[in-house]
Structure 1
Amino acid sequence: MGNMATIRRDIGAGHHFIFDNTLVSQPNTEMFSPEFWQLQNKITGQAKGRGTTIFIEHENQHWVLRHFKRGGLVGKILSDQYFFNGVERSRPFEEFRLLEYMRGEGLLVPVPVAARIHRRGLIYRGDLITLSIPNSQDLHHVLCQQPLTKSEWRDVGRALARMHNCQVYHHDANIRNIMIDSNKQIWLIDFDRCSKRQGNSWKQSNLDRLLRSLHKEQAKNPVFHWAEGDWAACLDGYEELVKR
Structure 2
Amino acid sequence: MRNMATIRQDLGAGHHFLFDDAIIGEPSIDMFTQEHWQFQNKITGHAKGRGTTLFIEHEQHSWVLRHFQRGGLVGKLLSDQYLFLGVESSRPFEEFKLLAEMRKEGLNVPVPVAANIHRRGVIYRGDLITQRILGSQDLHQVLCHEPLSESQWHAIGRALAAMHNCQVYHHDANIRNIMIDDKQAIWLIDFDRCRKRQGHQWKTGNLDRLLRSLLKEKEKNAIFHWSMDEWQHCLNGYSSIARTA
Name 2:206's counterpart in structure 1.
206
Runs of 4+ in structure 1 over 4 Å off: none
CA distance in structure 2 between the aligned counterparts of 1:59 and 1:44, rounded to whole angstroms: 13
SS of equivalent residue, structure 1 residue 98: helix
SS of equivalent residue, structure 2 residue 96: helix
Q: Which amino acid aligns with 1:53?
A: T
Name 1:6's counterpart in structure 2.
6
SS of equivalent residue, structure 1 residue 240: helix
**Cα RMSD, aligned residues only:** 0.5
Q: Which amino acid aligns with 2:141?
A: H
Shift of 1:242: 0.4
CA distance in structure 2 between the aligned counterparts of 1:180 and 1:105, rounded to whole angstroms: 20
Name 2:84's counterpart in structure 1.
84
TM-score of the two chains, using structure 1 as the length reference: 0.99
1:13-162 correspondence to structure 2 within 5 Å: 13-162=13-162
SS of equivalent residue, structure 2 residue 100: helix
SS of equivalent residue, structure 1 residue 173: coil
SS of equivalent residue, structure 2 residue 222: coil
CA distance in structure 1 between the aligned counterparts of 2:33 and 2:142, rounded to whole angstroms: 31
Structure 1 unaligned spans of 5+:
none
Name 1:186's counterpart in structure 2.
186
TM-score of the two chains, using structure 2 as the length reference: 0.99
1:83-125 per-position Cα deviation (integer Å, ceiling 9, x unaligned): 0000000000000000000000000000000001000000000
Between the aligned residues of both structures, percent identity stands at 69
Name 2:164's counterpart in structure 1.
164
CA distance in structure 2 between the aligned counterparts of 1:215 and 1:228, rounded to whole angstroms: 8
- How many positions carry a matched residue from both structures? 244
SS of equivalent residue, structure 1 residue 233: helix
CA distance in structure 2 between the aligned counterparts of 1:176 and 1:128, rounded to whole angstroms: 18
Shift of 1:4: 1.4
Structure 2 unaligned spans of 5+:
none
